[in-house]
Copies of this chain bind each other. A is one copy, B any other.
Amino acid sequence: MEIRNRKLSDAEFEAERKEVLATWHTGKEVDLDDAFAYQKTLTGDLRFGDKLLAAKKERRTLIQPRAGVPVLDEHIKLMQYLEKYGHVDLLPSTIDSYTRLNSYDKAEEGLKQSILEGRALMNGFPAVNHGVYKCRHLVESVKTPLQVRHGTPDARLLAEITYAAGFTSYEGGGISYNLPYCKKIPLEHTIKTWQYVDRLTGLYEENGISINREPFGPLTGTLVPPAISHAVAVIEALLAAEQGVKNITVGYGQCGNITQDVAAILTLQELTEDYLDMFGFHDVEVTTVLHEWMGGFPEDEAQAFGVISLGAACAGLSKATKVIVKSPHEAVGIPTMEANAQGCRCTKQVINMLYEQEYSSKDLEVEKYMIKNATRAILEKCYELGDGDWALGACRGVETGALDVPFAPCAANAGLMLPARDNEGAVRILDPGNLPFDQETKDFHRRKMEERARYENRPVHFNMVVDDIYAIGRGRLVGRPGMRDI
């Protein structure tokens, strides 16, 4: 497949669209004019992007949970509960894993079984199976804007249906919903399907309807150094902008060291704006999202609240535009609506208490500098590999390991680099693999890892990585040798 970063022509889009809508019977329910008309009834605080922009202006951090159950009525109940008892500012609808891999028939079966057994057997809301009208019923049952949250390599039909139904934000992207979310799908393929989603978004935009788009920041959620997720975010923002997207939220998953986390959010905003500007997209609005800790959680709920609070604190201190909330059930399973709302209230308390506060650490500048340098190095290498084309560059970058996501299941990912925490708990590069870093950056990371090795009296080694993966679940940030629970 030849992939290029250029706007789909109307003809290309139309042709592809026919195929997409035919992949499941609910595709028939989508009518663009009707969709535009419906979307236009949703204004002000009912629009995701508007609410984000207002928050950004006030330097407020909005809160949003993840949540989705298969059966429509139950899902509506869940959303209303989160509105009322979670005090959420933004609502999700988390899509089930069958839909995510386009197994609509399996989803149909799972939905049926869930109704039959009276309990959820799927991990999310199968929006495609429900179709446009049922999803509109959902939209009309709440007073809060809704976003589709998923992990779908080919999310074209899902976008068609949910946009037509009045969702005003859509998570995902061709890289961020490939590498962490599938095993064998080529990157060209997902970038292409996501060009479609972005073009669809652009089409709405051209018709006066702004839909917020959010590349998935945390990737595998496991020791992802900021520069890597930043590079993905920037590329996906550029790809989206090319198709006419105007409202983008770039994301980052809390790593655990406060200085690094605050620096990450600040640089994410700066870098994305810089690159969009540099490539001529001057009218794209950029906001940020911090995801509370995305790796393995402690099983104990009280400890989980501690992790949640520290994530919330980083969001609050960095003035991320929104924060994606975890629940005290995280380590065990999909939260009950009560547990989910608890995570929200805990987060809101922390966010509120930090609203007035700024984080002005002396080390912040160093951290910001290092993140920016490393991100730019990856971006420049990709651009070069793509001969000036971001889509091609992303593919070649991933292939060669210039853009390398740790622990990704996808075969396309090189998997050569290894991350680990340094002695202050910041995520660094233990082995750069083929990351295109300059000597300064490499030395910095190496020095940081050696500092830790000296402290722990063991060599810089993969054991550190394993210990770090377990660490937060066992009550600490850095995986020290011989650590016990708490």
Contact = CB atoms under 8 A, between A and B. Distances in A.
A476 interface: yes
B350 A310 contact: yes
Contact of A352 (B350, B354, B355, B486): B486
Contact of A356 (B305, B356, B363, B425): B425
B357 A425 contact: yes
A305 B425 CA distance: 23
A256 B349 contact: no
A359 B358 CA distance: 13
A347 B306 contact: yes
Contacts of A434: none
A307 B354 CA distance: 11
Given A353-B425, A360-B363, A425-B357, A302 B303 contact: no
A329 to B, nearest CB: 12
Most chain B CB inside 10 Å of its own CB: which residue of A258, A309, A350, A359: A309
Contacts of A361: 359-362
Contacts of A472: 353
A470 to B, nearest CB: 13
B348 A475 contact: yes
A87 B310 contact: no
**Majority SS of interface residues in chain A?**
helix
A169 interface: no
B302 A345 contact: yes
A310 B313 contact: yes
B350 A309 contact: yes
A40 B346 CA distance: 46
A472 B348 CA distance: 12
A7 to B, nearest CB: 44
B475 A349 contact: yes
B477 A355 contact: yes
A62 to B, nearest CB: 13
17 contacts: A87-B486, A259-B357, A301-B342, A302-B345, A303-B345, A303-B346, A303-B348, A306-B346, A309-B346, A310-B313, A313-B313, A353-B425, A353-B472, A354-B477, A355-B477, A356-B425, A356-B477
Interface of A: 87, 256-259, 298, 300-303, 305-310, 312-313, 328, 341-350, 352-363, 423-425, 472, 475-478, 486
